[in-house]
Amino acid sequence: MMRPFRILAAFMILAGAGLLVYGVVAGEMQVALLLIVPVIYGSSALGFLAIGLIIAGILVSMADFALSASAEGAEEALVDDDRARSKKAEFGGVILIGPIPIIFGADRRMTFLAIMVAVAILVIMILSLFYSGG
């Protein structure tokens, strides 16, 4: 079950990303490449709001993680050791160094999901470069 803070964090990050894309398409913000790292910049209030939403979303997500970790730690103290050891961790991720993705995952499903996220991010980056006139 998704917790309210996790939903709020996801909404804030997605809203900030949407505002960034809108700002680039509307011409209020620009996209440039610094070496191989894409940089979005602008001087409008829209850019400030977009970056602020993304940072706030990340902070809410970190707070949710910390709160859930402390709650799970209290619960796991009550759970049997055998049952706690039987949990299998599933994780995956994407690290973008400019346009070069580094993809990792614990199993095939998570790695595939990370690949799909990397492709989506790269498509958004390429489209934003074309629409910004750069």
Q: What is the pLDDT of residues 56-114, one digit of tens each?
A: 988 988 888 877 766 655 555 555 555 555 566 778 888 878 777 788 888 888 888 88
Tokens of 55: 């940072």
Average pLDDT score over residue span 29-56 = 84
More confident residue, 62 or 2: 62
Q: How far apart are CA 23 and CA 29, in angstroms?
A: 5
- Which pLDDT belongs to residue 1? 46
Name which of 92, 19, 15, 117 is nearest 56 in CA terms: 15
Answer yes or no: is pLDDT of 17 > 70: yes
Name the percent of the chain lying above pLDDT 70.
81
Sequence ranges of the domains in the chain: 1-85, 88-134
The reported pTM is 0.52
